[in-house]
Amino acid sequence: MRTLGAILKHPDDLYPLIKLKVAVMQAEKQIPPEPHWGFCYSMLHKVSRSFALVIQQLDTDLRDAICVFYLVLRALDTVEDDTNIATEVKVPILMAFHRHIYDREWHFACGTKDYKVLMDQFHHVSTAFLELGSSYQKVIEDITMRMGAGMAKFICKEVETTEDYDEYCHYVAGLVGLGLSNLFHASGKEDLAPDSVSNSMGLFLQKVNIIRDYLEDINEIPKSRMFWPRQIWSKYVNKLEDLKYKENSDKAVHCLNDMVTNALMHAEDCLKYMSALRDPAIFRFCAIPQIMAIGTLALCYNNIEVFRGVVKMRRGLTAKVIDRTKSMSDVYGAFFDFSCMLKSKVDDNDLNAKKTKSRLEDILKICRDSGTLNKRKSYILGSEPTFNPTMILIFVVMLAILLAYLSANRGNDM
Q: Which domain holds residue 330?
A: 222-378
In a domain, 217, yes or no: no
Please state the rounded mean pLDDT for residues 343-366: 97
Set 168, 236, 332, 338: catalytic member: 168
Assess contact for 151 and 159: CB atoms under 8 A.
no
CA dist., res. 35 & res. 398, Å (int):
36
In a domain, 263, yes or no: yes
In a domain, 29, yes or no: no
Q: Is 319 exposed, middle or buried (0-12, 13-18, 19+ CB in 10 A)?
A: buried
Confidence at residue 14, expressed as pLDDT on a 0 to 100 scale: 81
Query: Is 225 a residue of the active site?
Result: yes
In a domain, 38, yes or no: no
In a domain, 258, yes or no: yes
pLDDT tens digit sequence for 74-99: 999 999 999 899 999 999 999 999 99
Please state the rounded mean pLDDT for residues 192-212: 98
Q: Is 323 helix (H, G, I), strand (E, B) or coil?
A: helix
In a domain, 331, yes or no: yes
CATH number (domain holding residue 257) = 1.10.600.10
Which residues are within 8 A (CB) of 149 and not within 5 positions of it... i.e. 6 or more apart?
A: 94, 95, 171
Set 70, 285, 332, 379: catalytic member: 285
Confidence at residue 222, expressed as pLDDT on a 0 to 100 scale: 78
Confidence at residue 386, expressed as pLDDT on a 0 to 100 scale: 47
pLDDT tens digit sequence for 118-159: 999 999 999 999 999 999 999 999 999 999 999 999 998 999
What distances in angstroms separate CA 330 from CA 288, 316, 372, one per listed residue? 10, 17, 9
Please give the span between the terminal C-alpha atoms of the chain, in angstroms, as a whole number.
31
Please state the rounded mean pLDDT for residues 329-338: 96
Other beta carbons less than 10 A from residue 143's beta carbon: 23
CA dist., res. 231 & res. 224, Å (int):
18
In a domain, 167, yes or no: no
Q: What are the φ/ψ torsions at residue 248 (nearest 5 degrees)?
A: -110, 20
Q: Per-residue pLDDT for 190 more than 90? A: yes
Please state the rounded mean pLDDT for residues 20-34: 80
Set 225, 230, 315, 376: catalytic member: 225
Query: Is 171 a residue of the active site?
Result: no
Assess contact for 363 and 268: CB atoms under 8 A.
yes
In a domain, 181, yes or no: no
Set 51, 165, 184, 212: catalytic member: 212
Query: Is 410 a residue of the active site?
Result: no
Domain count of the fold of the chain: 1
For the question of whether the overall pTM of this predicted structure is more than 0.85, the answer is yes
Query: Is 102 a residue of the active site?
Result: no
What distances in angstroms separate CA 355 from CA 34, 122, 203, 297, one per listed residue? 53, 45, 19, 15
